[in-house]
Chain A
Amino acid sequence: MVRLAYYPGCSLEATGKEYDASARAVCQALGIELVELEDWNCCGATSVHSIDHLLALALPARNLALAQKVGLDIVAPCSACYNRLRQTEHALRHDRSVGRAIEEAVGFNFLGGVTVLSLLEALVRRVGVEAVADRVVHPLRGLRVASYYGCLLVRPPEVTRFDRPENPVHLDEVVEALGAEAVYWRGKTECCGASHAITNPEVASALVGRILALAREAGADAIVTTCPLCQTSLELRRPAGEAIPAVYFTELMGLAFGLPGTRTWLDKHLVDVGPVLSAVVQAVS
């Protein structure tokens, strides 16, 4: 049994509720026990790091301190949260002067016993792709999926140290384990522009439009994401007429695992997943 401290972050309580629900369900199905951090606070993404460097590290550090208290590694489903937490952990481990400032601000001593994981990393590293494949009851045969990692999950590589930064593959492996086809496409790590979604929506729209076009170019039926910010951008900022759905990888897992809540998660999407996923969805529900 794998036990991890669960850090949902703000978006999983709002725009990304279906991610939260699917993440919890999938983890349960794979035997991961998620212990939600008590009294966790906002990580500060996407704005604080452009305003106050120390605060941008201190906010996530408080969550690390909480995890250290319960002695569990943190899993953060949101890529932005993950990146902030991971950057903080990196600073604490590798930069003594910054580390000391963080510790002073938060009032704790980082002992180095706990680490930060993305949800994808937790599944691939702590459970394994084989275990995922073993749990599949409805292989998603015929479904062509573009695995979308975004910019924060694997970069900067010296901080994340998880997958190949230029051509990451772990999400593709998970997709293939579910029986779907992970298509080769060239938008894997493109930025979705989420941090500009409010301030400069044109930029975000242009980036999202490009990502969706690249997925279409590769013949994908759907884009699968690991991040609530990406997912929201891909749905909200898309050009008119673009119909390709964007789903969380945990939702696909729910489908393939035959988890009972899957239908309700997919119903929350702003872009209709039906035309593409209906066949699979029918089979499941």
Chain B
Amino acid sequence: MEREERRPVGAVMVVGGGVSGIQAALDLADAGFKVYLVERQPAIGGRMAQLDKTFPTNDCSMCTLAPRLVECGRHPNITILTCAEIKEVTGIAGDFTVRVRQYARLVDPEKCRGCGECETVCPVEVKDEFNQGLSKRKAIYRPYPQAVPNTYTIDIQKCLECVECEETCTAGAINPFMGDREFCLSVGAIILTPGYELFDASARPEFGYGVFPNVVTALEFERLLSASGPYQGQLARPSDGAAPKKIAFIQCVGSRDAAKGLPYCSAVCCMYATKQALLTKEHVPGADIAIFYIDMRAFGKDFERYYERARQNGVRYVRCMVSQVAGMPGSDELVIRYRTEDGVFREEQFDMVVLSVGLRPPAGFAEMARIIGIERDAYGFCKTWEFYPNMTSRPGVFAAGVILEPKDIPEAVIDASSAAANASRLLQAARGSLTTTRTYPPERPVANEAPRTGVFVCRCGINIGSVVDVPEVVRYAAGLPGVVHSQEFLFACAQDGIAAITEAIEEHNLNRVVVAACTPRTHAPLFQASLRAAGLNPYLYEHVNIREQCSWVHQHDPARATAKAKDLVRMAVTKARLLSPVITTFLDIEPLVLVVGGGAAGMTAALSVADQGFPVCLVEKEPVLGGNLRHLYYTLEGSDPQALLYDLTVRVEHHPLITVMTGAEIVSVTGYTGNFVTRVRQGDLEREVKHGAVVLATGAVESRPKEYLYGQHPRVVTQTEFEKMLATGRTAGLTNVVMIQCVGSRQEDRPYCSRVCCGHAIKNALKLKEQNPNANIFVLYRDVRTYGFKEKYYREAREKGVLFIRYELSGKPTVEADGEKLLVRFTDPVLNTGLTLNVDLVVLSAAVEPRPETARLAHLFKVPLTPDGFFAEAHMKLRPVDFATEGMYVAGLGHAPKMLPESLVQAQAAAVRAVGLLARRRLESLGVTVHVDARRCSGCGICLEVCPYGARFMDEQKVARVIEALCRGCGACVATCPSGATQQWTFEDGQIMRMIEAALLG
């Protein structure tokens, strides 16, 4: 070897602290790298922090994001650099030096406690950017209450230097002499996640934005809907504060608009408008909402259902591009003139108009690209390559999120994980070289102390506080037995809240903690960490959910919601007195990943894991690798899938860390996170694979249509079959071709959009036009869903003369045989007349459906499926590649229909998630495991039968013992034990009985 291999730097810089950047940072930090998260704003969180709810689940955006923010803020391997930007990048992949400039925030983050006193005395009011200028903030401010870091910032441009804040700050945190500083950091890789900006709506002056106060952008409307917004979630229109009863949404403002230089589709607006319409209906019952659109692009997982739900809720979808919004003289009303489906012009008045503005690269990205020396694409986004979707033009610099192409949150999160995988792969040799592990103070023994309980009640902004009388609950808690301290928080989960709990434990010598807040699922671990930080066993903790169980379900009855909150707190305090510390055990993780499925996703995941240094076992049921990739011959952007297939197959087969098992199937799965044992049958042989994690990349199939003479007439084929015809030159004599979209999709028996078919049809149509420019191609469609940059090819197809003709589900086209040829009948909606075409070929865009064996695998691996039969991830938005059970991940078509590059990205994301687990080396057992009282065990063995995890065994003394590491805490054995010998930590009979008594005696 002539070249000297130098070990790379085990640190990564992530530029941009939105949800993508946060994900990339967390993945890399967990995978053993030091991370610098650089953010231009005073806090991380990005756009997602500004959103009210998220589609298609209507989850509260901040509620799902906040735990991530806090995790980022607390992670020992993440350094957050806010008010900072990069100025220079030198060096090469593996060893960059980045010069960073950090602008003076004039508040010392080491000293600021985030109390907000400075804000109250500051005399300067300016427009609040976080609320899109719809409210005011002070010159010293924090962008939003849950901000991380929880440090105030002085807006130098607006500050009057009156020193009021400096005099008020008891922490002495304000430092007017703080200057900007520049420093250099050494990193091995850089990940760019700078996000996006919104289209400036005033550049479409016909919509009257900036002229009529009740014309707002979608993000402004989002803030109007938000509980933390300018009207505290009371939907009010800007002109007079009245609740709008009639609202129009105008789609594609700054999207699909070549005249404005924005020809691409922004991919998210159809769904966010649908979401806002549904939320508006909740805020203003009976509101009349019309969405004016071109094509409704509900292409993502569960989107079509969401769209359907909105329609059933009475949201009107009007297929018409509006050309003008006018004001009604003498009032604040707005008038929209539009053409109805039957060709009549109609004028309608609205109280408010929401412009669904598109996404574009942030203004500073051109400069960032120049500094780093990377290329931008034709639209000004970051240039990457179809099969290498996270790679920029400079080696070692990766990108993720909307800066690559407009996309929604889960796709940005997948992207971010994938970029992290790329970095982790590059820096494999330096993994763990610059990281530290989190240390907690030793646990304080509390066994001999009388219970000293602290009760912390959260307002969750107005989520809880507007219904439940929080001060009353706090007062009430203070009087309960054993309670020595109680207090309230605006947001307990904010960084200052977590720190305040730790402080209170120390100050009041607490040995039990009760938090009454939102859901324990996401938030209990956060609060438990504050116990550990104070040297308290984290299981001396009890969580009360007064949001879902009180303020949300009883929002119209505050008095009883408050009474219920008091009851729940009383029960928790009673139980807390009886809690004892739980000692967890540790278990080594089997450092191998099982990848099920050897298609594009499976092979990519396997390679990524292996390149990150962990062995992989790749199981494929077919005799050869490749899956659906074997049937792809070209892509929309012109890459060669067969070259990719060859490349992946060769690399997988020759990788020293990958064991390939083809013609193999999964027989059984036992074990648990970190220590799975899976039996695989290959021919007559069966072998056992021990693995710490598993990636399910089992794919999907093109369905066999049951209509349009498919299978009955040789000239009716599917898009995949047509693609093969095109690739093998069997298209001679094809002059008239009809393509029918949504065959088997978006209808009652298969109510989802198959996502790939619009692109697939256009790809094939363009290919045929390329081979035979005189071919006449008619695409019968319902909505053309060429989301993102794929819009370019839709336009290209139209320019080349491909005709797109819309049909409705209620009026499907018909196909009948005419000898060798076919007759296709349909109604043209523009001419409003029936037409018949005599064609040479009918191509059906058949639905993507789950493979038949998906259900069996789901059963074996104990993972859930969606109603459509695809794998169900842990969380639609923020955990799009994880299953709810740690150590199990999903990638590719088995998750939902998606395009090839999207599968590749998800596969890499799954890989880094698995590596993040394996890199921990050992796993801590759950706290809620069961234990057995040997004296009471009769040895009946019922528990052995009911345990789904094989965690119980009978010892020689006929006592049913517990393997703690296997126990998942389901409680089945506890419930069946006839002698009460089995008890579950933190759910012991005595604790539960006292809780019930407390409930009844209240």
Contact = CB atoms under 8 A, between A and B. Distances in A.
| Listed residue (A183, A186, A217, A218) with the most chain B CB atoms within 10 angstroms of its CB | A186
B205 interface: yes
A70 B757 CA distance: 65
Interface string B301-341: 00000000000000000000000101111100001000000
B721 interface: no
A167 B211 contact: yes
Interface residues of A, number: 11
A260 interface: no
Interface in A185-214: 185-186
Contacts, number: 24
Contacts of A218: 329-330
A164 interface: yes
A69 B329 CA distance: 48
A167 B208 contact: yes
A219 interface: yes
Contact of A184 (B324, B327, B335): B327
Interface string B169-206: 00000000000000000000000000000000000011
A219 B211 contact: no
A186 B329 contact: yes
A165 interface: yes
B206 to A, nearest CB: 5
Contacts of B335: 186
Interface in B694-722: none
Interface in A158-196: 164-167, 183-186
Chain B's interface size range is 10 to 19
Interface in A100-133: none
A223 to B, nearest CB: 14
Contacts of A166: 205-206, 208, 324
Contacts of A217: 329
A184 B330 CA distance: 8
B329 A183 contact: yes
Contacts of B208: 166-167
B214 to A, nearest CB: 14
A217 B326 CA distance: 13
B391 to A, nearest CB: 39
A219 B205 contact: no
Contacts of A167: 205, 208, 211
Contacts of A165: 205
A218 B330 CA distance: 7
Nearest to A164: B205
Contacts of A185: 329
A12 B205 CA distance: 33
A186 B329 CA distance: 8
Given A166-B206, A167-B211, A186-B335, A219 B327 contact: no
B171 to A, nearest CB: 51
B205 A186 contact: no
Interface string B205-244: 1101001000000000000000000000000000000000
B206 A219 contact: no
A217 B335 CA distance: 13
A217 B324 CA distance: 18
A219 B330 CA distance: 9
A219 B328 CA distance: 12
Contacts of B329: 183-186, 217-219
Interface in B325-363: 326-330, 335
A60 to B, nearest CB: 26
A219 B211 CA distance: 20
Contacts of B206: 166
A160 to B, nearest CB: 14
A210 B125 CA distance: 46
Contacts of B330: 184, 218-219
A217 B330 CA distance: 9
A185 B335 CA distance: 11
A165 B206 CA distance: 8
A167 B205 CA distance: 8
A215 to B, nearest CB: 9
A110 B329 CA distance: 46
A29 B206 CA distance: 36
A266 B328 CA distance: 31
Interface in A211-260: 217-219
A183 B331 CA distance: 12
A185 B328 CA distance: 7
A218 B335 CA distance: 13
Contacts of A183: 329
Interface string B785-823: 000000000000000000000000000000000000000
Contacts of B327: 184, 186
Nearest to B326: A186
| Listed residue (A165, A185, A219) with the most chain B CB atoms within 10 angstroms of its CB | A185
A100 to B, nearest CB: 27
A185 B205 CA distance: 16
A218 B326 CA distance: 12
A185 B331 CA distance: 11
A56 B206 CA distance: 29
B326 to A, nearest CB: 3
Contacts of A186: 326-329, 335
Nearest to A184: B329
Nearest to A187: B326
Interface in B466-497: none
Contacts of A184: 327, 329-330
A164 B335 CA distance: 20
A57 B811 CA distance: 49
Interface string A67-81: 000000000000000
A219 B206 CA distance: 23
Interface string A145-168: 000000000000000000011110
Interface string B522-536: 000000000000000
A14 B798 CA distance: 47
A155 to B, nearest CB: 11
A258 B648 CA distance: 87
Contacts of B324: 166
A221 to B, nearest CB: 14
24 contacts: A164-B205, A165-B205, A166-B205, A166-B206, A166-B208, A166-B324, A167-B205, A167-B208, A167-B211, A183-B329, A184-B327, A184-B329, A184-B330, A185-B329, A186-B326, A186-B327, A186-B328, A186-B329, A186-B335, A217-B329, A218-B329, A218-B330, A219-B329, A219-B330
Given A164-B205, A166-B324, A186-B327, 18 more contacts: A166-B205, A166-B206, A166-B208, A167-B205, A167-B208, A167-B211, A183-B329, A184-B327, A184-B329, A184-B330, A185-B329, A186-B326, A186-B328, A186-B329, A186-B335, A217-B329, A218-B330, A219-B329
Interface of A: 164-167, 183-186, 217-219
Interface of B: 205-206, 208, 211, 324, 326-330, 335
Which A-B residue pairs are the 8 nearest by beta carbons?
A186-B326, A218-B329, A166-B205, A166-B206, A184-B329, A185-B329, A217-B329, A167-B211
